[in-house]
Amino acid sequence: MKNKIITNSKILAIILVCVGIQIGCKSCKEADDFNVIPPPEPDVVNTAFYLTKGDQSVLFAKQESGISSYYENNYATINVSTSEEYQEIDGFGYTLTGGSAIHINNMSSSARAELLNELFGVDENNIGVSYLRISIGASDLDEAPYSYNDLASGETDVNMDKFSINEDKKNLIPVLKEILAINPAIKILGSPWSPPVWMKTNQSTVGGSLKSEYYDVYAMYFVKYIQAMQGEGISIDAITVQNEPLNPENNPSLLMEASDQAEFVGEHLGPAFESNSIETKIIIYDHNADRTDYPISVLNNSEANKYIDGSAFHLYAGDINNLNDVKTAHPDKNLYFTEQWVGSNDSFNESLKWHTRELIIGATRNWCKTVLEWNLASNSSLEPHTDGGCTECLGALTIDGDAVTKNVAYYIIAHASKFIRPGSVRVDSNYLSELPNVAFKTSNGETIVVVLNNTDVQKIFNINLPSESITVTLDAGSVGTFVSTNLL
C-alpha cells in the first residue's frame, strides 16, 4: 500500500473513534474484524464512484460520499496491477430479440429516440451499450417461429432462391439502423435457434437435427444472411453456429451434437465463408458451462479449428470458473458470454448480486470478451413469446407504449458498459470472496474496478489503484464501479 500522510485532524478522529469503540468491545482490533470503524471525512479523490444498492434506494448514481483517500486501517485491500494484462473486451449489452424490437419500434419516434440514445449513446448521460446479440430467424421471444426460407410442406430450396429477410425488415432492421446511427461501432452477434424446418429430421421448429445432406445448403443460408444484412448496412461481426445446441425442447430449437457441429464448421460453414470472402467470426457452442467438453472437442477437430474464433457460454448450469478449462485447452481461442435471463419472480437484490458476481465479474475473470444479458425488452405481460418459449423472462426494460421501466439487468450491464469501453483490457486484481471484483484498463488511460459487496453487512475496504489508494464504504449487496484517471 502506498505511504500516505495522515493529518492531525484525521489522527484525532481515528483516536476518538477507537476510544468510543473500546467502550463496547474488547479492542479496536475486534472492531476492525467487524468492519465498524468509519472512514474519516471524505477527501478530494480522483476516482469517481457509481453505486447501485440492492434495496433500490440508489440506482446507478454517481456518489460524492462513501469514498476517501486511503487512511491507515486493517481493512481488506483490492490491489490492482495494470501491468498484468489479460483479454481485450469487445463489449457489454443485451439480446435485441424480435419481441424487443417490436416494443421499441412501436414507440413514438421521440420516445424511441430518447430511449435508444440513453442505451447506446456514449456521452455523460447514457450507458453506452456496445454489443448486441440478435437471432438469425426467430428466437423463442418472437411472436411465432420463422426462418428466412419457410416453404410449404414437402418443398425444398437447395439453391436458396426463396431466401428472404423480409420478416426482419418489419421491426428488427429499422431499430438496428437507428442504433447504428447513434453508435456505428457497435458489434452485432447473430445466433440461429433453428434452420428452416425442411432441412430438419423431424420437419418441426422444435428439436430434431440438421440433415447431413443439407449441410452445404445451410452453410449458404448463413452466407446469404450475412450478405443480406450487409445490404441493409448492418455488419454482422460474429455468428454462433447454434443457440443451445443441447436443448431441443425450446421453440424454436435444434439438437446439434459436438461431432456434428465440428463436421458442419470444418467441412461446410468455414469453407463457405472462405469462398465467399465472409469475414464474420465463427463462434461455437453457445450453451451452458457444465459441458465444456463440447467446445473443447469441436476445437480439437483440426479442420474445424482453423475457422473458429472462439466459444460462447450461458450459465443455466455449471460453474463460471469452468470456462477457464476451455481457455487452458485452446489458449489461442476467444471466449464470449452471450446469454443469461432474469426471472420475473427473482428479487432485484439477489439478481443484482448473482449476475454481477457470476457474469460481470466471473465471466470476465474467466476470459470472456463479452457479457450479454437476455433480453433487452418485454412488456408488462412478458410478451411476446412463441408457443413453448420463455414465459418468465424479464427484460432489462419493460416497455408498454412509450412508458419504460428499468429492471435489474439494465443496471447490471450499465455498471460495465458505460465505462469498460471496447478495446479495454482486463488487468490483474486479487479476488476476495466477500468483495468479488474485476479491473480493466481503458484506451484513454482510466482504470475501472467493479466491486460487489457479497455479504449481508456494510463493508469498508481499500482499493490500491495505479494513480491513488482509496478507502470505500459499500453497503450490503451493493455494486460499485470505480473510475480512476491514471495520473502517473
Per-residue pLDDT of the chain (488 residues; tens, 9 = 90+): 333 333 344 433 333 334 343 334 433 333 344 444 555 555 668 999 999 999 999 999 999 999 999 999 999 999 999 999 999 999 999 999 999 999 999 999 999 999 999 999 998 889 999 999 999 999 999 999 999 999 999 999 999 999 999 999 999 999 999 999 999 999 999 999 999 999 999 999 999 999 999 999 999 999 999 999 999 999 999 999 999 999 999 999 999 999 999 999 999 999 999 999 999 999 999 999 999 999 999 999 999 999 999 999 999 999 999 999 999 999 999 999 999 999 999 999 999 999 999 999 999 999 999 999 999 999 999 999 999 999 999 999 999 999 999 999 999 999 999 999 999 999 999 999 999 999 999 999 999 999 999 999 999 999 999 999 999 999 999 999 999 987 44
- pLDDT (tens digit per residue) in 220-268: 999 999 999 999 999 999 999 999 999 999 999 999 999 999 999 999 9
Burial (0-12, 13-18, 19+ Cβ within 10 Å), 19:
exposed
- pLDDT (tens digit per residue) in 78-122: 999 999 999 999 999 999 999 999 999 999 999 999 999 999 999
Which domains does the chain possess? 8-86+428-485 (2.60.40.1180), 90-422 (3.20.20.80)
> In whole angstroms, what is the distance from residue 268 CA to residue 218 CA?
9
Residue 7: the pLDDT is: 39
> In whole angstroms, what is the distance from residue 407 CA to residue 378 CA?
11
Residue 485: the pLDDT is: 87
- CB-hemisphere CA count at 13 Å for 392? 7
In sequence order, which residues have a C-beta less than 8 Å from that of residue 38 and are 6 or more positions away?
17, 460, 473
Residue 168: the pLDDT is: 98
> In whole angstroms, what is the distance from residue 48 CA to residue 65 CA?
10
Q: Using an 8 Å Cβ cutoff, are 253 and 266 in contact?
A: no
Other C-beta atoms closer than 10 Å to the C-beta of 26 total 9
Other C-beta atoms closer than 10 Å to the C-beta of 309 total 17
Residue 44: the pLDDT is: 67
> In whole angstroms, what is the distance from residue 141 CA to residue 252 CA?
10
Residue 38: the pLDDT is: 56
Residue 51: the pLDDT is: 98
